[in-house]
Amino acid sequence: MEAKFGSTGRLPAAFLTPGSSSFMDFLSEHAPEQLPGRRQLPPVQGAIEAPHGTTIVAAGFPGGVVLAGDRRATMGNMIAQRDIEKVFPADEYSAVGIAGTAGLAVEMVKLFQLELEHFEKVEGAQLSLEGKANRLSTMIRSNLGMAMQGLAVVPLFVGYDVDREKGRIFSYDVTGGRSEELGFAAVGSGSVFARGALKKLYREELTEQQAATVTVQALYDAADDDSATGGPDIARRIYPVVTVITEEGFKRLTEAEVSEIARAIHEGRLQHPNGPQAPVL
């Protein structure tokens, strides 16, 4: 970066050119090599071994939305990391959780956070929630080359829509296709099982606390059947990351709060290993 300042040390023209409020646009003009999407992978044989993050779930409730993720990263059949965090605040009113190649995903989130912050500072106003969701779409699409070689990143994006006064959930596919989900959503290797659990447990009139419990239940079920998803690790005190976004903004539940939920679920499962039961008819 310093090299581009030339001999005078003054800000290069690109810094002072009026126009885009997007940090990615600025990067692509001034330092394109720093954009994740510009990288070319050399041709490789077979799959690339890199840590993968697994399951993320989201559930809405009147007045907000909960986003939660398990803590495991796997590399093939190995557990690469037990306490990875895959759910991040994107800005004051939104959060993003990521499944897929951990290294690329973390970089993508970092750039996404910066993109939103940069816009806010330059314009003096926040992007609309749709606008944020679309920016994320573009970023995933720019990773398509890597995704084709097995290094996919698939996020789940949630936020509180200040204009519509409600929480919203957006899911993505590897090509950047975006769809808004109603009620709940899940991504990652354990998502099939998590979605099954959410289907049976989710109701529209959940409270914030209940919605948080439902997401942890869903993660528990995902961990039950998917080896790549980690359940609450009570011995090591590693619990899922649970975040809530409401009108008040982003907040992450403290370890004590999550451990209380996880322990209650664990107690329940000692009686009913398959978890709460929905009525048959």
User: So which residues are the catalytic ones?
Assistant: 54
Q: Is 42 in the site for another protein (CB under 8 A)?
A: no
Residue 23, φ and ψ in degrees, nearest 5: -70, -35
Q: Is 157 in the site for another protein (CB under 8 A)?
A: no
Q: Which is nearer to another protein, 73 or 228 (CB)?
A: 73
Number of residues that bind another protein (CB under 8 A): 45
Q: For another protein, which residue of 79, 162, 234, 264 counts as binding (CB under 8 A)? A: 162
Q: Which is nearer to another protein, 189 or 215 (CB)?
A: 215
Q: Is 88 in the site for another protein (CB under 8 A)?
A: yes
Closest CA relative to residue 109, chosen from 140, 82, 84: 140
Q: For another protein, which residue of 91, 101, 104, 133 counts as binding (CB under 8 A)? A: 91
CA distances from 198 to 69, 117, 186, 218, 276 (A): 14, 33, 9, 6, 11
Closest CA relative to residue 198, chosen from 55, 80, 78: 55
Q: For another protein, which residue of 30, 166, 200, 269 counts as binding (CB under 8 A)? A: 30
What contacts 24+ positions apart, CB below 8 Å, involve 72-78?
72/228, 72/229, 72/230, 73/102, 74/227, 74/228, 75/49, 75/50, 75/51, 76/49, 77/227
Q: Is 110 in the site for another protein (CB under 8 A)?
A: yes
Using only the alpha carbons of the chain, give its radius of gyration: 20
| 17, two tokens | 């050119």
Q: For another protein, which residue of 57, 65, 108, 111 counts as binding (CB under 8 A)? A: 111
Which residues lie near another protein (CB under 8 A)?
A: 1, 5, 8-11, 14-16, 18, 21, 23, 26-27, 30-31, 34, 85, 88-89, 91-93, 95, 110-111, 113-114, 117-118, 120-126, 162, 243, 247-252
